[in-house]
Structure 1
Amino acid sequence: MTTFTFHGGAGEIGGNMLLIDSPGSRFFLDFGMSFKRHGEYFSEFLQPRTSNALGDFLNLDLIPDIEGLYRNDFLSHNKMKTSEEPAFDGILISHAHLDHLGYVNLLHEKAHVYASSVTKGIAEALDELGSGSKDDFVKTTKSFSYYENKKGEISRIRNCRDPEIKYSQREYPLTVDRGEFEVGSASVQIFPVDHSIIGASGFIAHAGGRSIGYTGDFRNHGSRPELTRAFVENMASSDLDILFIEGTNIDEEKGMSETDVGNEISRLITEAEGRHVFASFPVRDTFRLLSFYTAARNAGRKLAVNFRQAFLLDKLDSNKALERGKDIIPSHDEGLSVYIKKREYGLIGEDVEEEEKARDYDKKERPYVGIDNQICWKDVRDNPGEYVLFLDNYSVQELVDIQPVEGSIYIKSQCEPFDAEMELDWGRIENWLDRFGLQVKRAHASGHMSGGEIAEVIKTIEPKLVVPMHTQRPVLFSDLCDCEVLIPEKGKSYEF
């Protein structure tokens, strides 16, 4: 008997957490955070407790209570039952958005995590830029333990600077971004797909005599639509018994493509000649970054990225699965600048020694301070027509020092707010933009297919059963296709 159970992603956007249980194989498809359910209990100022995050999540029903699923250091510290080995064969991660990856840090330390090499690279960057066990996507911090320091004293592990003592590495056994592998007795194929983050994947699995398609998040109007088309063609030839398909935009018409966005950005930047141009887009969307990079260069400008983007670009630049110029560019590219904002004493841009400036920054940022293409507020202020500056919600304060010239623009290239908290955040940003006289322009392509495109995919694949996920309106699927549609409920198991 083969069953599936949605522990997240049913009747909601994000939080995908789908358990497939078949004879000889037990695995999850994604293990993500539901922003909606998480936000019902936590906020920026009300966080899970460091000492009991796992217990908090379990008691609030944010994660499933399954024996052998979670890491032993957390379980032991909270006097819960531990297990030497994980009680499942693996976790398949479709991409590195937190609503698909966000709770991987809680998993058993011996869990096998299957993801593309690019997704693993992004997860490693999240680890390296984060702090503590909440970012343990690839490494695992040995939390709540002790070690003997150089003085021979017993100290808490958080004070340890030796990574060999402080961390262990999670198992990411997959070595291909496209191909076949085994998870227990199940045979699984991974395929790259087009989405709003690089490295996204879909899966076809054969488990318990059943064939399963899992789309993750996908689209066919981005920078790599041919990837999604190839995945759909492979699902169509696999005689799927069941198709788990996302429906974020099931009730929307087809919108802008990434090409459309690039053209609109180019027009806006060209029209803003001699004035400041600021841009906001998802920080890890390297496809959108490349669209802005190309548009900026065509207008005789440089795209100025922040430290985190530069770090990610350099992390991924060595990945052989990516093509430089088409998929990725390094931070030292002649068309890029790295913008370093003020910290600590605010010495960046002042006439002091570079070594003293660098002391304002942590060890991860320091390698970018003083490099040839590093810029700061003064460079942008004095050269309004030279850069397109990435300006996210965490750096709008830089406007105080930059003092944009009249007629400057802010290009908003991301989704509109879809909940009360996001509306409050955007309202706050609007106050800053209004204060400094910035005109808001919009150019965005979704990371998801429209309803019509989803219907065409289902028609092409012809699965025996369709199960909508990652959507707030699963009932609309019944109107889109002729095959059987099952609307899943969270926590309920289904045989197939």
Structure 2
Amino acid sequence: MRITVYDGAETIGGNKIYVEENGKGVFLDFGMNFAKYGKYFAEFLNERSVRGIHDLLYLNLIPRLNIYRSDLIPSDVNMSDYPKLSVEAVLLSHAHVDHCGNIALLDESIPIMASPMSMAMLKAMRDVSSSGIGSEVAYFNVREHMEDDRRILITDRSKPYKGRDLICTDRIPDELAEFMCYRPGQEGRNAKKLNPGNLCHVHDHGLSFDIDAYEVDHSIYGATAYILWGDSAIAYTGDIRMHGKYADKSREFVRGAKDASVLIIEGTRTGRDEDVNESEEIVFENCLKAVEESKGVVIADFSPRNFERLETFMEIARRTSRELVVTAKDAYMLHAMECADGICRMEDVRIYHELKQKKDKWEELVVRERWGDKYVDPADISRNPENYILCFSFYDMKHLLDIKPDGGTYIYSSSEAFSEEQEFDFLRLYNWLREFNLRVYGFKMVLKDGKLAPEFVRGYHASGHASKDDLRWIIEQVDPDVIIPVHTTNPEWFVENFYNVKVFKNEDNVEV
């Protein structure tokens, strides 16, 4: 059995780990590497979709392998120059872009294995997205070469959207199967239809490996760890933590991995100087106190698709007699999640009425049809700001121009900024908060080297990743023959603490 880490060995995110036996293999995740992308691209400078995979290959942002969709290959890219792998599936750990963001580029014959919740989220993310090849994970636009210049790829509008084949790690609810096969608005006479891929259970899809999937604790629901059984047993944590709502599920995976000879483990927090005690309970208590102290509107800013944190603010809203308001996109995602697990999370939630000319089909036909009576107008919030908690991110700050709050509270309940570009975003955010006289919890702006930079206040966010102590516990419990750290900038921590560590550079491999 051979393991090759094509990406994610030296950065946080971008995992692309190929496990092969007897000439057949699977990828553990196939994510977008933000650290690499950030060297060349920014918010308004992106790879060119009309050139397919050309830009990404040229800049070494994806592995130089012959495994990509034929309709994304322009005429001036010769794929025969690159090795061709036999890829039976991508085993997706969870629906964060740094783990799933390059799956859309893969040959359409390669299915995705994922939990029901991750499948629902991938589909919802695609439904509400309107641009970029990278968003086309669940289904994609078929492209063709432009007749006059075959270096240019254009969307074939006469062909339906094509869904990727999906392998589910758990029972497939009827509601989820229906959701995966339907794109809102496809009933229209001139609308593009969705031609869905096959959807099956893992036991009904033959792979060269026997695979055990375990739901684990992370900052997004549906996160999955895997154990692959072949000549050897390989355990892959994906992103994992031990201090959230599903910590017991992470422990169950660790118990199941005790026969694994190889442990591929994330090490996000090994690069931090301090390893503070944190939990969702601490976050709840601090955020509750901040809301209780607020005299006006409250804005809660947390990571996209961190619905455990959303549920935290649902409970805070109940305790403080406020109404929680989410965006229409969040409401659509909550609908998708209900299709996966049968839990309605919209009972005590309102939806922000955004002032725009036209509603998207997913909002018009799903969100408004189901919860049209839950919409709240910015004028209503402006009249009674003390009645609401708004789930807004930095990109929603523009809506404050319609609400026009005079004072209130902003709670930053997300991860810290780790790049200079992210620090610039905080400067812009801080200008918005000062404009509307909002009291800030979770960070403050301080002078560093003569310029303002964010300094983060502990207790308002709990990481989605295991602490050093928890990583040590996982490794000691599994007791593998080989440890392969990924998703880290500090693999040396593993070397310093354990004797059987294999440190990879990207594209390194090992026989086990």
With the length of structure 2 as denominator, give the TM-score of the two structures. Answer: 0.84
Match of 2:287 among 254, 258, 265: 265
What's the CA shift for 1:435? 1.6
Contact preservation (8 Å) 2:214, 2:225: yes
What is the match of residue 423 of structure 2?
423
Cα distance in 2 between the residues matched to 1:125 and 1:70? 23
**Long gaps (5+) in structure 1:** 147-155, 345-359
Among 209, 217, 223, the residue aligned to 1:194? 217
Cα distance in structure 2, aligned partners of 1:456 and 1:104 = 32
Task: Output aligned runs, 1:19-98, within 5 Å.
Answer: 19-67=18-66, 69-75=67-73, 80-81=78-79, 87-98=86-97
Matched with 2:504 is 488
Q: Is the 8 A contact 2:101 2:134 kept in 1?
A: no
What's the counterpart of residue 397 of structure 1?
398
1: distance between equivalents of 2:385 and 2:436?
A: 14
- Equivalent pair of 2:211/2:226 in contact (CA under 8 Å): yes
**Letter matched to residue 8 of structure 1:** D
Task: Please name the residue that 1:338 is paired with.
Answer: 351
- Report the aligned-residue RMSD: 2.3
Is the partner of 1:440 in helix, strand or coil?
Answer: strand
Partner of 1:276: 297
Q: Relative to 1, partners in 2 of residues 1:243 and 1:86: Cα closer, same or farther, differing over 3 Å?
A: closer
Which deviates further from its counterpart, 18-27 or 286-295? 18-27
Equivalent residue letter for 2:466: M
Write the letter of the residue equivalent to 2:418: F
Question: What does residue range 199-210 of structure 1 map to in structure 2 within 5 Å?
Answer: 199-207=222-230, 209-210=231-232
CA distance in 1, matches of 2:463, 2:418: 13
In structure 1, how many angstroms separate the alpha carbons of the residues matched to 2:477 and 2:171?
Answer: 24
Separation (CA, whole Å) in 2 of partners of 1:279 and 1:372 = 23
Give the equivalent residue in structure 2 for 1:185. Answer: 208
Asked whether the equivalents of residues 169 and 202 of structure 2 are also in contact (C-alpha less than 8 Å), the reply is: no
Q: How far 1:361 moved relative to its partner?
A: 2.4
SS, match of residue 386 in structure 2: coil
1:173 aligns with 2:158: no
| Amino acid paired to 1:210 | S
CA contact (8 A) 1:223 1:259 kept: no
User: What secondary structure does 2:41 align onto?
Assistant: coil
**Contact 1:276 1:404 (C-alpha < 8 Å) held by counterparts:** yes
User: How far did residue 159 of structure 1 move?
Assistant: 4.1
- How much does 1:323 deviate? 5.8
Which region of structure 1 is more displaced relative to structure 2, 227-236 or 73-82? 73-82
| Paired letter, 1:460 | Q
2:314 alignment partner, one of 285, 293, 297: 293
Q: Check whether the contact 2:54–2:74 (CA below 8 A) recurs between aligned residues.
A: no
**Could you tell me which amino acid in structure 1 is paired with residue 353 of structure 2?**
I
> CA, structure 1 residues 174+400, in 2 after alignment: closer, same or farther (shift >3 Å)?
closer
1:351 is aligned to: none
One-letter code of the match for 2:486? M
User: Is contact 2:261–2:481 with CA below 8 Å preserved after alignment?
Assistant: yes
Do residues 447 (structure 1) and 464 (structure 2) align?
A: yes
Q: How many residues align?
A: 452
**Helix, strand or coil at the partner of 2:410:** strand
Question: 1:340 and 1:283, CA in 2 relative to 1: closer, same or farther beyond 3 A?
Answer: farther
Judge conservation of contact 2:11–2:487 (CA < 8 Å) in 1: yes
Matched residue type, 1:468: P
Deviation at 1:21, TM superposition (A): 1.7
- 1:233-244 mapped onto 2 (5 Å cutoff): 233-236=255-258, 238=259, 240-244=260-264
| 1:79 shift after superposition | 5.3
State the partner residue of 1:152: none
Listed one character per residue, the Cα deviations across residues 58-117 of structure 1 (whole Å, up to 9, x for unaligned) are 1111111112x111111265554489x983111111000000000011010111211111
Contact 2:264 2:485 in 1 (8 A): yes
Measure, in 2, the Cα distance between the counterparts of 1:90 and 1:198: 22
Structure 2 CA distance for aligned equivalents of residues 186 and 342 of structure 1: 51
Where do residues 210-221 of structure 1 align in structure 2 (5 Å cutoff)? 210-221=232-243
**Preserved CA contact (<8 Å) 1:9 1:470:** yes
Q: Deviations over 1:289-313 (max 9, x none)?
A: 1001111111111110001100000
Q: Which amino acid aligns with 1:436?
A: F
The CA distance in 1 between the partners of 2:465 and 2:211, in whole Å, is 24
Alignment partners' CA distance in 2, 1:166 and 1:185: 32
Q: Is the 8 A contact 1:177 1:192 kept in 2?
A: no
> 1:397 aligns to what SS in structure 2?
helix
The code of the aligned residue for 1:241 comes to S
1:338/1:437 CA distance change after superposition, 3 Å: same
Does residue 385 of structure 1 match 2:386?
A: yes
Q: Deviation digits for residues 415-463 of structure 1, max 9, x if unmatched?
A: 1101111111111101110121111112111000111111111111111
Report whether the alignment pairs 1:462 with 2:479.
yes
- Comparing 408-417 with 165-174, which one deviates more in the overlay? 165-174
Aligned to 2:120: 121
Distance 1:103 1:172 in 2: 16
Shift of 1:24: 4.8
- Quote the Cα distance in structure 2 between the aligned partners of 1:425 and 1:338: 26
